[in-house]
């Protein structure tokens, strides 16, 4: 087990969004305000860690042929739990994330890590893999939220201070390009981030 390597992989060299290009749907759909990004990131982090631990714990007794079905049952179970808990205790977050919480079931990051990591590694390593990959995902979400919110709506930290409150206005209201908070803006911002990441990675390799 090499924590430092795993951490670097989760955040940079194997970043789930920018390098593995997984979980695109939620990444583009919900990164319109800081609160959404944080909530989604933490929800994925928790589910990913739990499912990683369970899958790695049961990996020896799971027959190879039905492993995907088993993974999905485990993942769907955790996602539903988290969904119910968010609805009960964080209703504002549930309202703004809506269907994207249940959709974490089909988020490729979680199934991808189950198949490529926790099915082959020990419980502790899988636990940290879940945490680090989750952090990698959250950081990218937050970066996208900050960029899209600042340039698209001119605010920062939307939803953090209160459910219906807009963030702090930084750019005067007439400057922001509304387009960036729409789906097309998601594609553009994500593309720029991936390009920057690839550039940085190839530069550091040299």
Partner 1 sequence: MSNEVKTKEKVDMDPKYIIKLTVTLFVTCVVVAGLLGLVNSVTAGRIEQINIENTNKALTAVFEGASAPEFPEMEIADDLKAAAASAGATLQNVYEAKDGGETIGHALKIVASGSQGNIEMIVGVDGEGAVTGVSIVKNSETAGIGSKVMENENGVLDQFIGKSAADSPLTVGKNVDAISGATVSSRGVTTGVNAALAVAGVMG
Q: Which residues bind partner 1 (CB under 8 A)?
A: 32, 58, 61-63, 65-66, 69-70, 73-74, 76-77, 80-81, 84-85, 87-89, 91, 98, 152-153, 178, 181-182
Q: Which is nearer to partner 1, 5 or 178 (CB)?
A: 178
As a whole number of angstroms, the distance between CA 75 and CA 60 comes to 18
Q: How far is the CB of 80 from partner 1 (least distance, A)?
A: 6
Q: Cβ of residue 73: shortest distance to partner 1, in angstroms?
A: 5
Instruction: Decide whether 101 or 135 has the Cβ nearer to partner 1.
Output: 101
Name the residue nearer to partner 1 (CB basis): 63 or 162: 63
The least distance separating partner 1 from the CB of residue 63, rounded to whole angstroms, comes to: 5
Integer Rg of the chain from CA: 18
Query: Among 123, 70, 131, 77, which Cα is nearest to 104's?
Result: 77
Nearer to partner 1, 7 or 58 (CB): 58
Question: Is 149 within 8 Å of 32 (Cβ atoms)?
Answer: yes
The secondary structure element, H or E, covering residue 169 is strand 168-169
Phi-psi region of 155 (alpha: psi -120 to 50; beta: other; left: phi over 0): beta
């Amino acid at each position: 087990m090499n924590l430092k390597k795993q951490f670097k992989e989760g955040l940079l060299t194997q970043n789930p969004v920018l390098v593995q290009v997984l979980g695109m749907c939620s990444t583009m759909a919900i990164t319109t305000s800081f609160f959404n990004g944080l909530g989604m990131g933490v929800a994925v982090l928790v589910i990913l860690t739990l499912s990683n631990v369970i899958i790695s714990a049961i990996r020896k007794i799971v027959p190879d042929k039905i492993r995907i079905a088993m993974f999905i049952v485990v993942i769907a179970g955790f996602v539903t739990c988290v969904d119910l808990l968010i609805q009960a205790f964080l209703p504002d977050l549930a309202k703004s994330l809506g269907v994207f919480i249940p959709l974490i079931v089909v988020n490729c990051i979680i199934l991808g890590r189950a198949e490529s990591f926790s099915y082959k590694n020990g419980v502790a390593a899988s636990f940290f893999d879940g945490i680090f990959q989750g952090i990698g995902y959250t950081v990218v979400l937050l970066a996208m939220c900050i960029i899209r919110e600042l340039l698209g709506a001119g605010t920062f930290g939307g939803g953090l201070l209160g459910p219906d409150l807009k963030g702090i206005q930084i750019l005067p209201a007439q400057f922001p390009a509304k387009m960036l908070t729409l789906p097309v803006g998601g594609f553009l911002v994500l593309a720029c981030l991936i390009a920057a990441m690839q550039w940085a990675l190839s530069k550091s390799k040299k």
